[in-house]
Amino acid sequence: MIPGIFARPHAAQTVTSPWQPAPLAAAEPVTDHVVLGGCPPLDASEETKLRNTLAASLAVGLAVAAALLPSPPAQAGERATALSLVRGRRATRARRGHLVMAHGFPMTGDTAERFNRLVALVNERFPGRRVRVTSTTGGVHSDPRHAQGRAVDFVVEALTARESVTLEALARRVGFQPVNEYLRRSRHWTGPHMHVAH
């Protein structure tokens, strides 16, 4: 315990916490300085040094905060132009085989387009069932197209073995080469799912 900051309450005092600030003694003069732990007040040069150090720390903290915060929002016209440029870049990247995020996973743009068409077909054929991607580029896979972002592993909610054959046909329809891991296990099988690649 630091002397002079906190003291044990007397038995007659009513307190809500086990510790409370110690009252100032009547003999102590009241000054504009804060006295902590019985330390004497700072002289003018020490106080100036402390103020300068605190100001410098505050300036550094504000600079770091400004660097971490996003820039102010652009005007509506600027925002639309920037968005169309980003979309254009994404389309260019997709043609070159760069990865984009789709369904929460990285995959090439053309893979994402095919997969979105497949999801639409699945929603038509099996309405109300959720399609969930389980892996694209991450993990260990026997198909090297996973590392390239050209293969997707996914599951369809409450899919039976018979329905998985229909899902295989839908995948072929959009240009994928499916491997039905609901029926056949691959070397790195992790559970029933559909593997599609192109």
Question: CA-CA distance, 61 to 66, in Å (whole number)?
Answer: 9
From residue 30, how far is each of 5, 22, 35, 47 by CA, in Å?
16, 15, 10, 18
156-183 per-position pLDDT tens digit: 999 999 999 999 999 999 999 999 999 9
**Per-residue pLDDT tens over the stretch 94-112:** 455 688 999 999 999 999 9
The pLDDT score that the predictor gives to residue 22 is 53
Mean pLDDT of the chain: 74
For 137-151, the pLDDT digits (tens) are 988 888 899 989 999
Sign of torsion, CA 21 23 27 29? positive
- The residue with greater pLDDT, 91 or 190, is 190
pTM for the predicted model, two decimal places: 0.52
CB 114 within 8 A of CB 198: yes
Report CA 88 to chain centroid distance, whole Å. 25
Please tell me which of 23-32, 39-48, 52-61, 106-115 the model is most confident about, judged by mean pLDDT.
106-115
Q: What is the dihedral of CA 131, 197, 96, 118, to 10 degrees?
A: -40
* Residue ranges per structural domain of the chain: 17-64, 95-197
Whole-number percent of the chain with pLDDT over 90 = 41
Tell me, letter by letter, the H, E, C secondary structure of 143-168: CCCCCCCCEEEEEECCCCHHHHHHHH
CA–CA distance from 155 to each of 3, 92, 126, 181 (Å)? 65, 29, 13, 10
pLDDT at position 44 is 76
Look at domain 95-197 and name its CATH class. alpha beta
Distance between alpha carbon 151 and the CA centroid of its chain, in Å?
Answer: 24
